[in-house]
Amino acid sequence: MRLPTVIAASVALALFSLPAVAQQPSPAAPNLPDKIPFGVPYGAPIGLEQARKIVAASQAEGEKRGWPMNIAVVDTHGDLVHFARMDGAQLSSVDISQRKARTAARWRRESRVFFEAYSKGPPIYGTLDPGLAASSGGIPLIVEGKLIGAIGCSGGTSDQDVVICQAGVDALK
């Protein structure tokens, strides 16, 4: 008879102490930032005319350097607005350029950030978005402090991709 009484008392204690435990404030995580990182606000999505201007500037830089590239510009949602595949550009890089742009727009940061995160430890970001591109060459397009879209370039080395993207970003200024 004693065992059922002990079990009943244990269950009652556990049930009545749950509300008290639930009301305890959670301890703050160490180094908790005050603001959301990469919290660039969204602006009006980029239009076709601006996207064409950006792609044209990137394409001109690629032609000047002799680097055939795939160049994609997406809106704030990551949807394609304008794309160019330069003559001789790697066919495998068509999708990669669009994924880099999509990554930069959806995550509001350069795609290289994910490469850096992957190289430091387990790739947790890959479990969040299967279309994520974790390599350099995706840059957000920010006008007046607001995200309007992103550009992604692929076909060269990571550094070459960034140079071509930056030419497009500079065309916005």
Closest among 139, 129, 122, 169 to 40, alpha carbons compared? 139
Mean pLDDT of 51-77: 98
Alpha carbon distances (Å) from 128 to 16, 78, 91, 104, 147:
38, 16, 27, 14, 21
- Residue 123: the pLDDT is 61
Query: What predicted TM-score, i.e. pTM, was given to this entire model?
Result: 0.78
Domain parsing of the chain, residue ranges: 48-170
Q: Which CATH superfamily groups domain 48-170?
A: Haem-degrading domain (3.30.450.150)
Percent of the chain with pLDDT over 90: 63
- Residue 173: the pLDDT is 84
Averaged pLDDT of the chain = 85
Alpha carbon distances (Å) from 23 to 19, 20, 64, 120:
6, 5, 64, 36
- In terms of DSSP bridges, do strands 80-85 and 70-74 run parallel, antiparallel, or are they unpaired? antiparallel
Residue 42 has what DSSP assignment?
B
Give pLDDT tens digits for 7-46. Answer: 555 555 555 555 554 555 555 556 666 667 678 899 999 9
Annotate 40-66 with DSSP letters as a single string. Answer: PPB-SPPPHHHHHHHHHHHHHHHHHHT
